[in-house]
Amino acid sequence: MTRRRAATGEFAFATPAGWFAIDLPVSPADAGRLAGQVAVAHPELAGQREALAEMLTTLAEATEVVGAVGARGALFDVSGVALPATLLVSLQPMGPYSLAEMGRELAGADHEATRAFDLPAGRTVRIERLVEPSATGEGRRPVSFTVSYLTEVPGRDQAVVLTFGTPAIALVDQLRTVFHQIACSLLVNPAGQVQPPAEAH
């Protein structure tokens, strides 16, 4: 894993070579414009603009739901088709809930998908699921593999949430390891309130 600073501010994490920062799209209409910007910044992705636009459209939909403050992405070749993997980063207030209770709430009925353990950044709950979206007017979307890591920030009533997703089901074993390596690299400033990164680099 090529380690590089992936976020500024009160927390940071490392991503492998080939992953890139993404400006959070405000709406699906932003996807094409941002895909062009990513392709310009990363010439090796110039031939994958359509896949980038699709990935960014999905991120636009998810960003509003989770209140994301940062995003990263990568494209993987699966039998000649470019499929994305994405990471959304959010901060969630814990309120009266424990980390375990937040994990169970996120997992829904699939409690068996929840695991708790310690990472360098602190106590963490991990939820792994296969998500099959309902059919839409544009047809049925593919099943996606999602993994969420909720890491408690002691004494600050907050959790840093890393949410990974990919439709590359054939690469689940490989990407499960990559997602876990990224989560293990999370570092949180031990002093002061955790705040979203001022800007992505």
Residue 74 in domain: yes
Residue 107 in domain: yes
- The count of structural domains within the chain is 1
Give me the pLDDT at residue 194, please.
47
Give me the pLDDT at residue 71, please.
84
Stated as kind and residue range, the H or E segment containing 105 is: helix 99-107
Give me the pLDDT at residue 179, please.
95
- pLDDT averaged over every residue in the chain: 75
Residue 44 in domain: no
Residue 178 in domain: yes
Band (pLDDT 50/70/90 cuts) for residue 157 is confident
Residue 51 in domain: no
The pLDDT tens digits of the residues spanning 87-136 come to 988 888 888 888 888 888 877 766 666 889 999 888 999 999 887 765 55
Q: Which residue has the higher pLDDT, 132 or 7?
A: 132
Give me the pLDDT at residue 111, please.
60
- Residue 160 domain boundaries: 11-22+69-188
Residue 140 in domain: yes
- Extended strands (E) in 79-136: 81-93, 114-119, 122-131
Give me the pLDDT at residue 90, please.
86
CATH of the domain at 125: 3.40.1000.10
Residue 160 in domain: yes
3-state secondary structure at position 66: helix
Residue 156 in domain: yes
The pLDDT tens digits of the residues spanning 42-101 come to 676 666 667 777 777 776 666 666 667 788 888 888 887 778 888 988 888 888 888 888
Which residues partner with 87 through β-bridges?
A: 72, 164
